[in-house]
């Protein structure tokens, strides 16, 4: 195996291709299909991107909570008629989701791709990176994604539809979602960066949205996947992760107690991959199925990405040695190291 040919490189190529398609795909599919390939994509791709080829499932869910279920509850109508649109959206979501499971996060999502690109930029600039967050912060952050899903995606839109909140609260997550700014900026549209001063609600949401997007850029330079850790899409994935065909499998050995390289490699800091010695299916709720833990496991077949019962990628000592070598070579090359080499060569010439 070549030093530079590995699963991470393949994933980067898939991510970039998916980003181009989901952000600019409407230019190919045409106006009538650009927002209709999927209205229930299991990844953050924004409907405000008018060149995009899809939109994520969180958009219609908020709309349905507000204009369908909420209004039915308020008016005392047929409850099933209010629930049915959401059931159809979730059913469509599941059709897509079972194919790739949580890999939609690790391989497809434009926001996830953007954060990884920012991380690469930070690494090449020579910025001091935090390979892993402290465990206490990891555990404190994990409930946030559930709050985002239950409150911002389901709760506030439903209360808006019932009439308890003003209509600007009908899509609270969309108003702060980084994909709304990212994908529109990628097409040259800057209107989503504008602070909306129409009323207090829109002002607060637009300021929060701009602040969150800026914070993600700053954090992603030194911290791995900062927004993914609190993303409501990750929580929605976690609900259905047992139904996906692709999964992460662990065949624990006594060496696992002493190793821990898999947890160190995980961009989501899932320490349970290392410490759980009982579970076979270790597709934990924060897992994005990126496969880095499998790449950096030094023991044969201890960690595997399996599609149903078929292993598609397995850990091995030979792959680990090559992967570790390529990672070391990659990390040595950055702006600071280049500058030091340039200065030392210049000083040597002067002397």
Query: pLDDT tens across 66-121, in order?
Result: 999 999 999 888 899 899 999 999 999 999 999 999 999 999 999 999 999 999 99
User: Are residues 49 and 139 both part of a single domain?
Assistant: yes
Q: How do strand 310-314 and strand 303-307 relate by DSSP bridges?
A: antiparallel
**Considering only CA atoms, which of 282, 65, 268, 62 is closest in space to residue 162?**
65
User: Are residues 295 and 204 both part of a single domain?
Assistant: no
Residue that the structure tokens 């960066």 belong to: 193
User: Are residues 54 and 198 both part of a single domain?
Assistant: yes
* 347 located within any domain: no
| Domain interval for residue 65 | 11-236
Instruction: Name the DSSP class of 37.
Output: S
* 349 located within any domain: no
User: Are residues 15 and 52 both part of a single domain?
Assistant: yes
User: Are residues 112 and 57 both part of a single domain?
Assistant: yes
User: Are residues 31 and 95 both part of a single domain?
Assistant: yes
* 134 located within any domain: yes
Q: How do strand 310-314 and strand 246-250 relate by DSSP bridges?
A: unpaired
How many CB atoms within 10 Å of residue 83?
A: 14
User: Are residues 27 and 80 both part of a single domain?
Assistant: yes
Look at 2-11, 52-61, 199-208, 292-301 and tell me which has the smallest mean pLDDT. Answer: 2-11
Domain count, the chain: 2
* 1 located within any domain: no
User: Are residues 200 and 75 both part of a single domain?
Assistant: yes
pLDDT at 32 over 60: no
pLDDT at 217 over 60: yes
**Which helix (DSSP H) or strand (DSSP E) does residue 68 occupy?**
none
User: Are residues 258 and 308 both part of a single domain?
Assistant: yes
Name the domain boundary from 193, 215, 236.
Answer: 236
């Amino acid at each position: 195996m070549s030093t530079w040919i590995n699963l991470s490189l393949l994933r980067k190529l898939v991510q970039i291709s998916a980003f181009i398609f989901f952000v600019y795909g409407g230019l190919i599919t045409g106006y009538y299909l650009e927002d209709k390939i999927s209205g229930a994509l299991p990844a953050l791709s924004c409907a405000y991107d008018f060149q995009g080829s899809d939109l994520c499932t969180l958009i219609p869910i908020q709309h349905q909570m507000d204009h369908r279920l909420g209004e039915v509850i308020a008016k005392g109508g047929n409850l099933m008629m209010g629930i049915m649109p959401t059931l159809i959206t979730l059913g469509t979501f599941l059709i897509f989701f079972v194919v790739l499971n949580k890999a939609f996060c690790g391989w497809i999502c434009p926001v996830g791709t953007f954060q990884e690109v920012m991380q690469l930029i930070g690494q090449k600039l020579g910025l001091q990176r935090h390979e892993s967050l402290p465990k206490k912060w990891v555990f404190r952050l994990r409930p946030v994604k559930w709050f985002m899903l239950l409150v911002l995606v389901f709760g506030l839109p439903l209360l808006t539809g019932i009439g308890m909140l003003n209509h600007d609260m009908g899509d609270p997550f969309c108003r702060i979602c980084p994909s709304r700014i990212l994908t529109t900026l990628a097409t040259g549209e800057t209107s989503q960066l504008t602070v909306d001063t129409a009323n207090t609600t829109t002002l607060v949401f637009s300021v929060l949205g701009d602040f969150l997007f800026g914070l993600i850029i700053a954090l992603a330079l030194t911290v791995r996947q900062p927004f993914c850790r609190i993303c409501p899409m990750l929580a929605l994935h976690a609900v259905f992760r047992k139904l996906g065909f692709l999964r992460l499998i662990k065949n624990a050995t006594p060496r696992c107690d002493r190793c821990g390289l898999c947890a160190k490699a995980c961009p989501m800091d899932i320490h349970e991959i290392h410490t759980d010695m009982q579970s076979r299916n270790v597709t934990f709720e924060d897992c994005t199925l990126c496969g880095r833990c499998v790449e950096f496991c030094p023991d044969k077949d201890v960690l595997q990405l399996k599609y149903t019962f078929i292993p598609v990628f397995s850990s091995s000592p030979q792959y680990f040695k090559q992967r570790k070598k390529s990672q070391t070579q990659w990390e040595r090359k950055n702006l600071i190291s280049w500058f030091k080499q340039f200065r030392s060569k210049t000083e040597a010439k002067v002397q």
